[in-house]
């Protein structure tokens, strides 16, 4: 009997139990929010995710990829987390919405010293407006029936065109526009805010199969960042401006 008991103990001690795999951390490429800089993934959303990862003891790396692919990989991976994801009615059933990490506004902007009327989209239909080709502003252009639109492939070109007077106003993400100003040496406070087309909520999203215990761990890490001031310091690092309270 004693021999059988010792044998059972030995067998149990010899067994190896699989460890819980860590989730994939996926970053969708987006100016200011997640991007590659000198072989390191940077950006306000990715820095927030990296800080959460440090607090939960995560040992892996952030995977940066084109935004549409990031959405696909997150949705089709058992355990995955992704930033930055805007919550929409179309995406709502496909992900777990763990924490709202940022808010942003898409709006009209003009040079602070200019006299152009950007207070409403009716007045803006008379203006030459710069937009980023393929960006989220495309739907706004359609919805607001903007007539004189000039598309470019980088926001830095909109900075230069606005400064040169080749466009009257600029439509885009407020914080991305401010970052584009800084990137080429223009002051971000030279911009004047105008009519707001949309306010979006940006999330840390989880894959459909992410377990509740894993999700709770990351949510706890995010709340602790807010409580101890690290969240605010990361936003300040990027001079990120949350929209005014409504």
190 CB contacts (<8 Å, ≥6 apart)? 111, 112, 181
pLDDT per residue, tens digit, the chain (246 aa), is: 544 543 343 344 444 434 558 999 999 999 999 999 998 999 999 999 999 999 999 999 999 999 999 999 999 999 999 999 999 999 999 999 999 999 999 999 999 999 999 999 999 999 999 999 988 888 899 999 999 999 999 999 999 999 999 999 999 999 999 999 999 999 999 999 999 999 999 999 999 999 999 999 999 999 999 999 999 999 999 999 999 887
- Closest by CA to 236, choosing from 175, 171, 191, 172, is 175
Q: What tokens appear for 22 in the block? A: 């860590």
Contact 210/23 with Cβ under 8 angstroms?
Answer: yes
The answer as to whether 245 is a domain residue is no
How do 191-206 and 96-111 pair as beta strands?
antiparallel
Instruction: Indicate the number of domains in the chain.
Output: 2
Q: Could you tell me if 62 and 182 lie in one domain?
A: no
Domain with 56, as residue range(s), is 24-101+201-237
The answer as to whether 19 is a domain residue is no
Q: Could you tell me if 49 and 94 lie in one domain?
A: yes
The answer as to whether 10 is a domain residue is no
82: domain CATH number is 3.40.190.10
Q: Could you tell me if 188 and 160 lie in one domain?
A: yes
Q: Could you tell me if 108 and 96 lie in one domain?
A: no
Q: Could you tell me if 135 and 183 lie in one domain?
A: yes
């Amino acid at each position: 009997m004693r021999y059988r008991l010792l044998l059972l103990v030995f067998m149990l001690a010899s067994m190896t139990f699989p460890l819980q795999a860590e989730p994939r951390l996926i970053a969708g490429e987006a100016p200011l929010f997640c991007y590659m800089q000198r072989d390191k993934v940077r950006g306000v959303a990715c820095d927030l995710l990296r800080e959460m990862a440090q607090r939960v003891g995560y040992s892996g790396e952030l995977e940066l990829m084109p935004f549409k692919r990031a959405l696909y990989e997150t949705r089709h991976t058992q355990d995955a987390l992704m930033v930055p994801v805007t919550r929409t009615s179309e995406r709502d059933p496909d992900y777990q919405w763990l924490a709202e990490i940022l808010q942003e506004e898409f709006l009209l902007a003009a040079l602070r010293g200019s006299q152009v009327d950007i207070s409403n989209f009716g007045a803006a239909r008379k203006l030459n407006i710069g937009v980023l080709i393929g960006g989220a502003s495309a739907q706004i252009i359609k919805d607001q029936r903007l007539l004189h639109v000039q598309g470019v492939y980088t926001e830095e070109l909109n900075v230069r065109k606005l400064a040169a007077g080749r466009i009257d106003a600029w439509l885009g993400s407020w914080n991305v526009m401010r970052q584009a100003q800084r990137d080429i040496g223009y002051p971000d406070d030279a911009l004047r805010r105008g009519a707001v087309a949309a306010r979006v909520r940006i999330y840390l999203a989880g894959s459909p199969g992410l377990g509740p215990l894993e999700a709770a761990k990351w949510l706890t890490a995010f709340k602790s960042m807010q409580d101890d001031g690290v969240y605010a310091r990361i936003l300040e690092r990027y001079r990120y401006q949350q929209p005014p309270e409504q």
